[in-house]
Amino acid sequence: MEQKKNQVLMETRNLKKYFPVEKKIDGQQAEVKAVNDISMKIRHNEVYGLVGETGCGKSTFGRTLLRLMEPTEGRIFYKGEDITELPQGEFRKYRQKLQMIFQDPYTSLNPRKSAGKILEEVLAVQGMKNVRERMELSLEILGKVGLRPEHYYRYPHEFSGGQRQRIGIARALILNPEFIVCDEPVSALDVSIQSQIINLLLELKETEHLSYLFIAHDISVVRYISDRIGVMYLGYLFEESHTAGLFRSPLHPYTKALLAAVPTIDFDKGKKKRELIRGELPSPLFPPSGCVFHTRCPYAKDICKEQCPDMKEVEKGHRVMCHLYDEKEKTK
Amino acid sequence: MSSKLLEVKNLAASFKTERGLMKAIDGISFYAQENEILGIVGESGCGKSVTCQSVLRLYDEKHLVKLEGEILFDGENLLKYSEKEMEHIRGGAISMVFQDALSALNPVMKIGDQIVEGILLHHKELSKAEAKERALNILEQVGIPAFRERFEQYPHELSGGMRQRIMIAIALVCGPRILIADEPTTALDVTIQAQIMNLIVRLKEEMGMSVILITHDLAVVAETCDRVVVMYLGQIVEEADVKELFLHPAHPYTRGMMMSIPSMSEEKPERLYVIQGTVPLLSQIPSGCRFAPRCEYATQRCREAMPELEELENGHKVRCFMAQR
Ligand SMILES: Nc1ncnc2c1ncn2[C@@H]1O[C@H](COP(=O)(O)OP(=O)(O)OP(=O)(O)O)[C@@H](O)[C@H]1O
Ligand SMILES: Nc1ncnc2c1ncn2[C@@H]1O[C@H](COP(=O)(O)OP(=O)(O)OP(=O)(O)O)[C@@H](O)[C@H]1O
Ligand SMILES: [Mg+2]
Ligand SMILES: [Mg+2]
């Protein structure tokens, strides 16, 4: 068991996902580099939190990791096995183990199917033929995510946002997965249901030995649920650390700016305008040269404009992609 | 000086469903003033979106919903307006940013054209070129990077956050007097959230706009709202100035909600605080206090009689026998 605990469940090596865009720039096909050279390991029974500015490529990373999109370059491993190029037919047996909860509970559910049907369909696709069994399992899973048996016959439009998200979670859970990409699973939920869902995810993590890639904007939520956290910016993984380490000593200037922008409930300091990171997010179509953050970085040096920094391990388990730490690389 | 730009009195909205009329909100009364941000918070499904969409009368009133009460905008009851008059109000004097940005945008129409269309609808005097100028302007204001290129793109080519900023741009482009924002920053990261909230606060101050902000992010409420209304199961259960609400929450539901937020501290409790039980279905609304079945302080009286929303002091109102004492 101990050994299993540190086992790497999902791994990416130099993963890249580029989207071609219609427009040609200087006669060249332009591309959005949505995921750029990301190497990441997610261990068995671990919650890996992923944060970063809107459009930085978190969802694309999550989808590519599950091969819901094919990567442009790089490799994907599941328990050490290279699954990057498995034909879809062979990949099906992994699909069941690798699930996703989507960001948008409004568009991710088929409006013409009742909640029960949505769940049963997943089972049918996986070859469960017995109708009664399918219904029983669907009802059980509805209960697990805090919905009622009456909800079985309801259609998505009859649910509020939070209720729909529970259906999304139920749909991901029903096949007993090992790994779930949770793409902002609680963003649409109010806090009291958010805490239920987070507790639910943590409980399932323990009882079903699940691992998650947990994508969210709410830093306090990510902090609470994650064992480790990765910070993305414009397609790159800028920093990665154990949760406590990231908050105790954030290294990357972007991470520092991100944490400073987190809203807080604190009336002692009076109404403050939240600190804003300066400048605009560059267009992903024209990413800056060198380190892509240099246009907004208060500490940018000449080298930052020219050379993209490597990811370095600065402290144990704490990696950062920034020239400020060129000297500090941990000697391994 | 502040005036009640919008005053909602005893608003009820019932959906016509196969299982009969379902009252999604009941006896909703609140007001919104010029130059203030009113927050609406509450459990998922409690009727925040229904309240706001009813204000704009966005539902099909023949087939879907029955509205009762009064919605006074500048003293005029919007419920008495014709559909044609309402069309003029929507996106003009009162505009709204929706919770689900993707389905609110037209998938087969370029971003830029959608904004221009919105402008021309309310400003027939503008030329196409002028409208485009304005559209580009607002895109820049809401912080869309490479906004000239984005102008030519389709909704699906943008990330969730980007789409939400497009929605905000569309809502603001005609200079509304009331902006209703239904979870405008839900899909956004904190840096852009801060940028958008600062933008909304700035526009509110510059234009004296009244903002109704629906959000489940209590930290955002704490930082940006002036007043807050808390809803539970189709009713308002508490109303107070923002500081008062956070420092002295009176309703057990409000308190439970505040305890459920993960704190930004290093110690992590094993589990987060959870308000016990689930929200009852609309068809099974309890006869007494609607929160009673989940309330740890509930007494026999709470289960039998419904408390009114009563003022404790200085505009702090609560719907709870225990708190009112
Ligand atoms: N199908 C697509 N075609 C073209 N570009 C795309 C496509 N999907 C995403 N992109 C682009 O890739 C980049 C990354 O998008 P992605 O949705 O992964 O970001 P994200 O970090 O999940 O953002 P958010 O926090 O807003 O959800 C964005 O610039 C986006 O516009
Ligand atoms: N078109 C509809 N037909 C029937 N019932 C509806 C309809 N729209 C909403 N409801 C019901 O009305 C109630 C209030 O829903 P509403 O969408 O206003 O909740 P909300 O407070 O906005 O929740 P959330 O935070 O999840 O967005 C819910 O019980 C919902 O199921
Ligand atoms: Mg995303
Ligand atoms: Mg809503």
Q: Which of B259, B221, B223 is nearest to B239 (CA)?
A: B221
Percent of chain B with pLDDT over 90: 59
3-state secondary structure of A238: strand
> Which of A189, A248, A263 is opposite residue B44, by nearest beta carbon?
A189
Q: Is residue B42 part of a domain?
A: yes
Helix (H) or strand (E) holding A136: helix A131-144
Do B128 and B186 lie in one domain? The reply is: yes
Considering the domain architecture, whether residues B63 and B156 belong to the same structural domain is answered as: yes
* For the CA of A103, the nearest atom of ligand 1: 27
The SS3 call for residue A145 is: coil
Pair B218, B290 in one domain: no
Ligand 1 centroid – CA A180 distance (Å): 20
Mean pLDDT throughout B95-121?
A: 85
Task: With cut-offs at 50, 70 and 90, classify the pLDDT of residue B325.
Answer: low
Instruction: Read off the pLDDT of each residue in A183-190 and give the average, rounded to a whole number.
Output: 80
More confident call, A312 vs A197: A312
pLDDT of residue A1: 47
**More reliable by pLDDT, B57 or B263:** B57
For residue B289, pLDDT beyond 80: yes
Domain membership of residue B246 (yes or no) is: no
The C-alpha angle B243, B141, B174, rounded to 5 degrees, equals 85
**How many angstroms separate the CA atoms of B284 and B23, rounded?**
11
Domain contains B243: no
Distance CA A250, CA B23 (A): 49
Number of folded domains in chain B?
Answer: 2
Give chain B positions within 8 Å (CB) of A276. 191, 194-195, 198
Q: Are residues B228 and B255 in the same domain?
A: no
SS (H, E, C) A61-109: HHHHHCCCCCCCEEEEEECCEECCCCCHHHHHHHHCCEEEECCCCCCCC
The closest CB to that of A192, out of B146, B220, B260, belongs to B260
* Structure confidence at residue A327 (pLDDT): 81
CB B212 within 8 A of CB B171: no
The answer on pLDDT for A27 being more than 70 is no
Per-residue pLDDT band at B50 (split at 50, 70, 90): very high
Q: Do A280 and B103 touch (CB under 8 A)?
A: no
Specify whether the CB–CB gap between B192 and A53 falls below 8 A.
yes
Compute the distance between CA of residue A191 and CA of residue A213 in angstroms, rounded to an integer: 21
Question: Are B55 and B47 within 8 A, CB to CB?
Answer: no
Assign B1 a pLDDT band (cuts: 50, 70, 90).
very low
Q: Could you tell me if the ipTM is greater than 0.85?
A: no
Nearest to B134 by CA among B115, B121, B152: B115
Residue given tokens 């927050």 in the structure block: B39
CB pair distance less than 8 Å for A192 and B194 = no
Residue % of chain A over a pLDDT of 70? 91
Distances (CA, A) of A257 to A48, A231, A243, A250, A279: 21, 12, 17, 10, 12
- Do residues B256 and B206 share a domain? no
Residue B244, domain member (yes or no): no
**Mean of all residue pLDDT scores within chain B:** 90
Most confident of A18-32, A68-82, A186-200: A68-82
pLDDT of residue A272: 59
| From B43, B99, B246, residue closest to A265, measured CB to CB | B246
Question: Are residues B62 and B177 located together in one domain of the fold?
Answer: yes
CB count, 10 Å around CB of A1? 7
Mean pLDDT, rounded, for A192-200: 84
Which is nearest to A30 in space by CA: A39, A19, A40? Answer: A19
- Asked whether residue B145 falls in the same domain as residue B57, the answer is yes
The answer on B258 and B224 residing in a single domain is no
Q: Are B274 and A199 in contact (CB under 8 A)?
A: yes
Q: How many residues does chain B have?
A: 325
Nearest-ligand number for the alpha carbon of B51: 2
What does the block give as tokens for B72? 């006074």
Burial of A172 (C-beta count, 10 Å sphere; 0-12/13-18/19+): buried
Segment A7-16 mean pLDDT: 97
Is A106 in contact with B275 (Cβ distance < 8 A)?
A: no
Instruction: Please check the confidence at residue A320 and state whether its pLDDT lies above 90.
Output: yes
Q: Give the pLDDT confidence of A249-288 residue by residue, as tens digits.
A: 999 999 999 998 888 888 876 555 666 777 767 878 889 9
Considering every ligand atom, which ligand is closest to the CA of B60?
A: 2
pLDDT band at A204 (very low <50, low <70, confident <90, very high): confident
Question: What's the rounded mean pLDDT across residues B278-297?
Answer: 90
**Letter string b/e over residues A182-199, b meaning 16 or more CB atoms within 10 A of that residue's CB:** bbbbbbbbbbbbbbbbbb
Band of residue A296 on the pLDDT scale cut at 50, 70, 90: very high
Most confident of A30-39, B154-163, B259-268: A30-39
Beta bridge partners of A33: A18
Residue B155 belongs to a domain: yes
Quick one: B86 and B219 in the same domain?
A: yes
Residue (of A49, A50, A15, A48) closest to A34 by Cα position: A15
SS3 B70: strand
Cα separation of A201 and B259, whole Å?
A: 19
Phi-psi region of B11 (alpha: psi -120 to 50; beta: other; left: phi over 0): beta
What tokens does B293 get? 């079945």
- Contact yes or no for B262 and A198 at CB 8 A: yes
Contacts of A229 (CB under 8 A, 6+ apart): A48, A49, A50, A51, A222, A223, A240, A241, A243, A246
The token duo for B41 is 């918070």
The answer to whether position B157 is within a domain reads yes
Q: Based on the fold, state whether residues B257 and B207 are members of the same structural domain.
A: no
Cα gap A28→A8, rounded to integer Å: 39
Residue B198 lies in a domain: yes
Mean pLDDT across A214-241: 95
Q: Which of B232, B161, B85 is nearest to A193 (CA)?
A: B232
Percentage of chain A lying above the pLDDT 90 cut: 60
Contacts of A169 in chain B (CB under 8 A): none
Stretch 55-84 of chain B: residues touching chain A, C-beta under 8 Å = none
Q: For A288-313, what is the mean pLDDT?
A: 95
pLDDT, residue B282, reads 85
State whether B205 and B290 are in the same domain.
no
pLDDT of residue B67: 96
pLDDT digits (tens, 9 = 90+) for A86-138: 998 888 889 889 999 986 666 778 889 999 999 999 999 888 889 999 999 99
Range of the domain at B62: 4-232
For residues B217 and B255, membership in a common domain is answered with no
Q: What is the pLDDT of residue A194?
A: 84
Give the length of chain A.
332
Identity at B32, one-letter amino acid code: A
- Residue-wise pLDDT tens digits, B154-199: 988 887 667 878 888 888 888 899 999 998 877 677 887 887 788 7
CA distance readout (Å), B99 to A182, A310, B168, B199, B216: 20, 39, 11, 18, 12
Query: Do B325 and B301 contact (CB within 8 A), yes or no?
Result: no
In a domain, B238, yes or no: no
**Could you identify the atom of ligand 2 that is nearest to the CA of residue A163?**
26
Looking at residue A332, its pLDDT comes to: 46
Q: Which residue has the higher pLDDT, B168 or A48?
A: A48
Set of chain A residues whose Cβ sits within 8 Å of the Cβ of B261: 191, 195, 220, 265
For residue B160, the CA-to-ligand 3 centroid distance in Å is 6
Residues 6+ apart with CB under 8 A from B205: B35
CATH code, B105: 3.40.50.300
Residue B262 has pLDDT above 60, yes or no: yes
pLDDT, tens digit, 9 for 90 and up, residues A131-180: 999 999 999 999 888 788 999 999 988 887 678 878 988 999 899 899 99
- Positive or negative: CA dihedral A205, A211, A212, A218: positive
Most B CBs within 10 A among A158, A192, A206, hence the mutation to make, goes to A192
